[in-house]
Amino acid sequence: MARSRRNPRRAQSGHGKAGPSKWQRFSGSSGGDISRALDPAPRIERDELGEWYVRYVPASGARKPYTCPGCGRGIPVGTAHYVVWKNDHLFGDQRAIEDRRHWHARCWEIR
């Protein structure tokens, strides 16, 4: 029997083409975690120092270690915490975002 000169068929994934579909590529290595997209907008908290934007970061979204300004200890990867920045920064919104800090939930509550 004569052998075909065509390349053998590769296993396909997606929509009948080689490679993953756009939805499979979008999920990346995060395993389809969409928690950041579902997080509500930051809430505004007020205290004697002004107004603060406060956003909750779930444990699944905590992918880098940080140092809490409240206690000076580290916030390890995989620990839920808050990201906090000034609402009314003297030098504008961009500077406020650059100056944001990551706090342990308890440290932010008792500040």
pTM reported for the whole predicted model: 0.62
Here the tokens at position 41 are 């907008």
Assign 22 a pLDDT band (cuts: 50, 70, 90): low
Helix, coil or strand: residue 59: helix
Here the tokens at position 39 are 């997080």
Tell me the per-residue pLDDT of 2-11, one tens digit each, with 9 for 90 and over: 666 665 555 5
Here the tokens at position 19 are 């490679």
Percentage above 90 pLDDT, the chain: 44
Is 78's pLDDT higher than 60? yes
Alpha carbon distance 54, 85 (integer Å): 7
* Whole-Å CA distances, 15 to 3, 39, 62: 29, 31, 33
Q: What would you report as the CA-atom Rg of the chain, rounded to the nearest whole angstrom? A: 23
Alpha carbon distance 50, 33 (integer Å): 34
